[in-house]
Chains A and B, each alone.
Chain A
Amino acid sequence: MSNSSIAIEVRQAMWSRRGFLKAGAGLLAGVAGLNALPVRADGPYRIVVVGGGFGGATAAKYFKLWGQESGLDVAVTLIEPNAKYSSPILSGMVVTRQLEIDRLDFGFDRLQDVHGVSLLQDSVTGIDAVGKTVTLSDGSTTVAYDRLILSPGISFVDVEGWDTDKVPHAWSGRDQLQLLTQQLADFPEGGTFVLKVPAAPYRCPPGPYERASTVADYLRANNKNARVVVLDAQADIAVEPDTFHALYDDFGVEYYGNIQIERVNSGDAEGKSKSITYVTLEKDIDGTVIGQSAEQTIEADVINLIGDHKAADLIFDAGLNDGGNWAPVNPLTYESTVAGKEFIHILGDAQGTPIVKAGQAANNEAKVCVDAILRTLGGDSPYATPIVTVGCSAPVTQTKVNWAGNVWRYNDGTLNMEKVAGKFAPEPTEANWQPMLQWAHNLFADSFG
């Protein structure tokens, strides 16, 4: 080790984590300082990160690590309403009761104690892109930023009759995961399970297909003699159709494509008597809808309605969606391309590049964003041809695991990211089980450790 090496400073006492900083504590609140200078003469450069998932946590951590390496004084505040993040990655193992739900809870202690990130356990309810402040849940406290990083995740397009307290999506958040897990634990013998696959783009493309096959296998293993139905918005299984069709054939899963949900009966007070009503769309070769079937209704004991996705509400409230469902960004920096929204960056599932919506993608997008901001701050330009690599792995049965790897590269002709390489495992295997845990562990540690 050379004498000139920079040891990574471990900050502890000064970043007390005994109680999150509360809104209005005065440390960072107030002072909507507009400043044209890249580095403020009167204090550190203020980064505010909203959302403590894979994108936000990784951004907060790397701002501190790389800021320090670069000799830049960067203050990072992470605003997140939950004390811990519940990872959707590997949550399929919770649903099938092969993993305790708390094993996927990741707190922010390491970000605070080791990396020196400040935490506000709160929600952002407004963004002033001109004054460069965010407003917290009390409606009056503001936090000033020089750069704002939003990683707020997804929300769902509403469906008539859908009560998520009875009909879970279980696609985001611990409570939803717990609800579906409990409903399946209580699944009646001879009952019916219906899973709705959302229309693309949605979080984790193989995920709904994996959930259907793992749940079917789980119900089979528990001798539930269940009817399992997959209702897919796509014309056919969009990810590894051969693998999933074979699994569905093995488990007797009924699969229907081109489905449009009309409404849901979320059930009575006890959650009984649920049903889902849909039509089958008829499409021409270009995918244009040219007709539809009569309505059909399936009575079900458990409905896993993974609704169509859009960016989290904050993106719409702040006018960052530009009329669409996602936030358009410059993939060199993840800065919003909406006029008047400079200095606001959006990471992860809420942003609109072609990169897959997934925690692993958010993790690596965060690094592109942080590197670009710090390089700019240091008087340099963002790296011109970033790559975002994504690996992922998940069970498709009680014992077999599949994986996928994908690479996106910046195309300076289209000024957007494009997929340049991608591959799935040759087949799901038991041998992939331990590597899945090793992969996930490294991802969790890189993001939250």
Chain B
Amino acid sequence: MNSNLKKRNMKLGRPAVLAVIGLSLSGCLDSSGSSNGDDEINSGIYFDISSVDYSAVSVDASAADLASGARLLAAQCAQCHGTYGVAVREWPDLWGSGRQIGNWMSQYQDVNYADNMMHVHALGYTDDEVNLLKTYYPKIAYSGGQ
């Protein structure tokens, strides 16, 4: 499904730490005190929303000079790819990506990806809009952990 995108993202050197995330969170989040029988459930599923370090995000000042729509269109992607494209839980990052975003979007527009959710999102953007995305994400840098 997303293996292509994931492979491409390996340049960022982010290790596969899904299992580690689960373990470390179960140690620091309170799962007791439930009054509704939750103690009988042991899903092991947590949604830690504090993993992005915003002090490690930087937005190049020249981003302010980008064409109207660049920031806004890029932010639509953030819903699934993280604020500023800094994703959580082993999902493709977008920060720092320029030409790759163009490649991904044109690839996903291909009918061979018709069974992928990104297919429909890629079809929703015009070429000009994809070009705006390509101008925005290279302005974002992230030096924190995830």
How far, in Å, is A412 (CB) from chain B's closest CB? 14
Q: Which of A4-12, A201-209, A284-292 sits within the interface?
A: A4-12
Tell me if A5 and B141 are in contact (CB < 8 A): yes
A360 touching B50 in the complex, CB below 8 Å, given contacts A420-B124, A442-B87: no
Q: A435-B2, A449-B50 in contact; A181/B73 too (CB < 8 A)?
A: no
In the complex, whether A13 has a CB less than 8 A from a CB of chain B is: no
A389 to B62, CA, bound (A): 26
User: Which 4 A/B pairs are nearest by Cβ-Cβ distance?
Assistant: A407-B124, A449-B49, A405-B120, A5-B58
Residues of B close to A441: CB separation below 8 A: 47, 88-89, 91
Q: A441-B47, A445-B52 are in contact. Are A98 and B59 (CB under 8 A)?
A: no
Instruction: State the total of A-B contacts with C-beta under 8 angstroms.
Output: 187
The closest CB in chain B to the CB of A174 belongs to B36
| Chain B stretch 75-109: residues in CB contact (< 8 A) with chain A | 75-83, 87-91
Interfacial chain B residues near A375, Cβ < 8 Å: 68
**Chain A residues in 8 Å Cβ range of B37:** 97, 182, 185
* A residues at B contact (CB < 8 Å): 1-2, 4-10, 61-62, 65-66, 69-70, 93, 97-104, 106, 110, 114-115, 178, 181-182, 185, 360, 363-364, 367-368, 371, 375, 380-381, 383-391, 403-407, 409, 420-423, 425-426, 431, 435, 437-446, 448-449
Complex CA–CA separation, A371 to B71 (angstroms)? 8
Closest to A432 in B: B1
Instruction: Kindly supply a per-residue 1/0 record for chain B positions 36-76, scoring 1 wherever the CB is within 8 Å of any chain A CB and 0 otherwise.
Output: 11101101011101111011011111111000110111011
18 other contacts beyond A69-B64, A389-B77, A431-B1, with CB at 8 A cut-off?
A: A8-B54, A10-B54, A10-B55, A69-B59, A100-B31, A100-B41, A101-B38, A103-B43, A360-B79, A364-B76, A371-B75, A387-B76, A391-B117, A405-B118, A406-B120, A421-B123, A445-B52, A446-B79
A168–B52 alpha-carbon span in the complex (Å): 36
- B: residues with CB less than 8 A from A are 1-2, 31, 34, 36-38, 40-41, 43, 45-47, 49-52, 54-55, 57-64, 68-69, 71-73, 75-83, 87-91, 114-115, 117-121, 123-125, 129, 141, 143
* Distance (whole angstroms) from the CB of A212 to the closest CB of chain B: 21
Q: Are B72 and A367 in contact (CB under 8 A)?
A: yes
Residue from B43, B91, B124 within 8 A of A387 (CB atoms): B124
Cα distance, A367 to B75, chains bound together (Å): 7
Give A7's nearest chain B residue, CB to CB. B58
Contact of A70 with B64 in the complex, beta carbons under 8 Å: yes
Cα distance A114–B84 when bound, in Å? 15
Across-interface contacts of B57 in A (CB, < 8 A): 7-8
Chain B residues within an 8 Å CB radius of A423:
114, 117, 119-120
**A442 & B81 in contact (Cβ 8 Å cutoff):** yes
Picked from B68, B117, B143, the residue with its CB within 8 Å of the CB of A383 is B68
**Cross-chain pairs A/B with CB under 8 angstroms, 14 sampled:** A2-B61, A4-B60, A8-B58, A99-B45, A110-B50, A364-B79, A387-B73, A389-B79, A421-B124, A422-B120, A439-B91, A442-B79, A444-B49, A449-B50
**Given A70-B64, A442-B82, are A102 and B34 also a contact pair (CB < 8 Å)?**
yes
Q: A2 contacts which chain B residues (CB < 8 A)? A: 60-62
B46 contacts which chain A residues (CB < 8 A)? 103
B52 in complex: contacting residue of A6, A66, A426, A449, CB < 8 Å: A449
Output the least CB separation between A206 and chain B (Å): 14
- The reply to whether B76 and A99 contact each other, CB–CB distance below 8 Å, is no
CB distance from B72 to the nearest CB of A (A): 4
Contact, CB under 8 Å: B49 / A97: no
A213–B121 Cα distance when bound, in Å, is 28
* Distance from B18 Cβ to chain A, minimum over Cβ atoms (Å): 8
Known: A2-B61, A389-B79. A98 touches B41 (CB 8 A): yes
